[in-house]
């Protein structure tokens, strides 16, 4: 069908942009990344994929960046285009686009510049806030994560209350990604877990009512966010099924909209977590069930993926704590395995996990009770002793 409308599209500039967007997306969904990249290159040759005119240009820019995300090294013609044609429009947007799509690391000054620029659209601001939340989680900056999430939440509230009917189109897509990402970031960090969960449910309600966002996006959102909440509640078997449902509904479609949720950890560490596809003949219920550590690894890396080597201190702490809860290692062994920087964490959730490890290793009953209460307060109920969970 796209080939049928190609000739007609050439006579209409806006239709041609939409044709390019849909054609690139179709190739990504079919697994033809080479064809998608070739379409991006021909598009770049005909003019800048800027963001200062039609909204479709911004979506085309992010989708094009997603097509490049799987490349071992970004093509020079693409980096030149971003530097020379796109970045001058809104300084910082080049790095934001590449980091958002998973092909580069976030430079916090660039993301902040886009968020604060009066030239930025609401969609760009949502993308910037999402990148900032990811960055601050990685760098163990609880206050900055809380502030970035708050800014994004307030923008969403403003759009849905002051301007009824907003957000729509690509602004809605970016708002959707921000809300999902920020919710998960806050849950992992142990920051306002109740508020984060409430926001997620509200977002799901909005997605259910939006016909253009009620397919795989709704399924993936529900599976991913409910999965992490169940994981932190200690319901690891149910969480594992949520991750499998998420992976089954996503396929390459997330790449086509510019931000693969499955690549959360990959963007932090420049690694490529493989897709997980459950075989059709596999039983729906795991034979032996998932350990807490397995569930945590599945959430961060995708079901079936293996843990990476180097990782941020807060994440190292969470993995070590999960292994202690599973009985794989002792608390003393876990404490000895942690890097020096894990001794003073700022994120409430991982910090509570570290205190729980220290109290367990020391055999201090009073400190262990206090640490269990702290774990519950940050939303890590699955890590609490059973008696505390019922309090």
Q: What angle do CA 182, 300, 370 make, to 5 degrees?
A: 75
pLDDT-based confidence at 76, cuts 50/70/90? very high
| 257 band by pLDDT with thresholds 50, 70 and 90 | very low
Write down the pLDDT at residue 10. Answer: 56
Spatial CB neighbours of 99, under 8 Å, sequence gap ≥ 6: 105, 106, 107, 111, 131, 267
Residue 289 domain flag: no
Name the average pLDDT for the chain. 75
Q: Residue 177's pLDDT is what?
A: 78
Least confident of 10-14, 153-157, 198-202, 270-274: 270-274
Other C-beta atoms closer than 10 Å to the C-beta of 35 total 16
Residue 254 within a domain: no
- pLDDT (0 to 100) of residue 203: 57
In a domain, 262, yes or no: no
Please check the confidence at residue 142 and state whether its pLDDT lies above 80. yes
What is the domain extent for residue 344?
314-389
Q: What is the mean pLDDT of residues 147-166?
A: 81
Contact 359, 368 (CB under 8 A): yes
In a domain, 76, yes or no: yes
As a whole number, mean pLDDT of residues 341-359 equals 92
Q: Is residue 63 part of a domain?
A: yes
d(CA 319, CA 314): 9
Between these two residues, 143 and 268, which has the higher pLDDT value? 143
Domain end marker among 25, 55, 87: 87
Q: What is the mean pLDDT of residues 149-155?
A: 89
* Residue 307 CB neighbour total at 10 angstroms: 14
Does residue 147 sit within a domain? no
More confident call, 298 vs 242 = 242
Q: Is residue 168 part of a domain?
A: no
Confidence band of 281 (pLDDT split at 50, 70, 90): very low
Question: What pLDDT does 166 receive?
Answer: 65
Per-residue pLDDT at 330 exceeds 90: yes
The string of pLDDT tens digits covering residues 101-137 is 777 778 899 999 999 999 899 989 999 999 999 889 8
Residue 279: band (very low, low, confident or very high) from pLDDT cuts 50, 70, 90: very low
Three-state SS letters, 19-74: HHHHHHHHHHHCCCHHHHHHHHHHHHHCCCCCCCCCHHHHHHHHHHHHHHCCCCCC
Average pLDDT estimate for 35-50: 78
Most confident among 94-98, 106-110, 281-285, 333-337 (mean pLDDT)? 333-337
Convert the pLDDT of each residue in 201-248 to its tens digit: 665 565 545 434 445 556 666 677 677 777 777 787 787 777 776 666
Q: How confident is the model at residue 273 (pLDDT cuts 50, 70, 90)?
A: very low
Is residue 74 in some structural domain? yes
Query: What's the whole-number mean pLDDT along residues 376-384?
Result: 74
- Of 87, 112, 141, the domain-final residue: 87
**Boundary-marking domain end, from 37, 66, 87:** 87
The structural domain count of the chain equals 2
Q: Could you give the CA distance from residue 269 to residue 274 in angstroms, rounded to a whole number?
A: 14
Residue 160's pLDDT band (cuts 50, 70, 90): confident
């Amino acid at each position: 069908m796209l080939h049928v409308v190609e000739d007609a599209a050439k006579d209409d500039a806006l239709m041609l942009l939409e044709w390019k967007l849909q054609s690139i997306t179709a190739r990504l969904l079919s697994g033809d990344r080479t064809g998608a990249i070739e379409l991006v290159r021909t598009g770049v040759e005909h003019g800048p994929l800027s963001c200062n005119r039609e909204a479709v240009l911004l979506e085309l820019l992010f989708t094009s960046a997603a097509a490049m995300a799987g490349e071992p090294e970004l093509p020079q013609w693409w980096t030149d285009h971003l530097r020379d044609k796109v970045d001058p429009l809104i300084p910082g947007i080049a790095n934001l686009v590449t980091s958002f799509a998973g092909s580069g690391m976030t430079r916090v000054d660039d993301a902040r510049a886009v968020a604060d620029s009066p030239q930025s659209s609401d969609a760009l601001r949502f993308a910037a806030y999402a990148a900032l939340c990811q960055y601050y989680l990685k760098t163990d900056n609880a206050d900055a994560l809380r502030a970035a999430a708050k800014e994004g939440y307030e923008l969403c509230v403003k759009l849905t209350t002051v301007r009824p009917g907003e957000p729509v189109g690509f602004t809605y897509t970016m708002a959707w990604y921000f809300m999902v990402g920020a919710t998960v970031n806050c849950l992992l960090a142990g920051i306002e877990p109740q508020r984060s969960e409430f926001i997620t449910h509200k977002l799901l309600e909005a997605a259910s009512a939006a016909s253009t966002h009620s397919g795989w996006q709704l399924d993936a959102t529900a599976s991913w966010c409910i999965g992490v909440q169940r994981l932190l509640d200690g319901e690891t078997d149910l969480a594992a099924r949520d991750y499998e449902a998420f992976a089954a509904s996503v396929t390459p479609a997330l790449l086509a909209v510019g931000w693969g949720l499955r690549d959360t950890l990959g963007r932090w560490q420049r690694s490529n977590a493989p897709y997980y596809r459950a075989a059709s003949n596999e039983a729906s219920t795991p034979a032996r069930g998932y350990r807490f550590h397995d569930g945590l690894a599945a959430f961060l890396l995708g079901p079936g993926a293996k843990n990476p080597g180097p990782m941020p201190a807060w994440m190292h702490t969470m993995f070590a704590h999960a292994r202690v809860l599973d009985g794989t290692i002792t608390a003393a062994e876990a404490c000895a395995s942690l890097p020096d920087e894990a001794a003073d964490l700022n994120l409430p959730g991982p910090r509570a996990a570290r205190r729980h490890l220290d109290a367990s290793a020391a055999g201090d009953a009073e400190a262990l009770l206090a640490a269990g209460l702290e774990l519950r307060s940050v939303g890590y109920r699955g890590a609490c002793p059973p008696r505390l969970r019922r309090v």
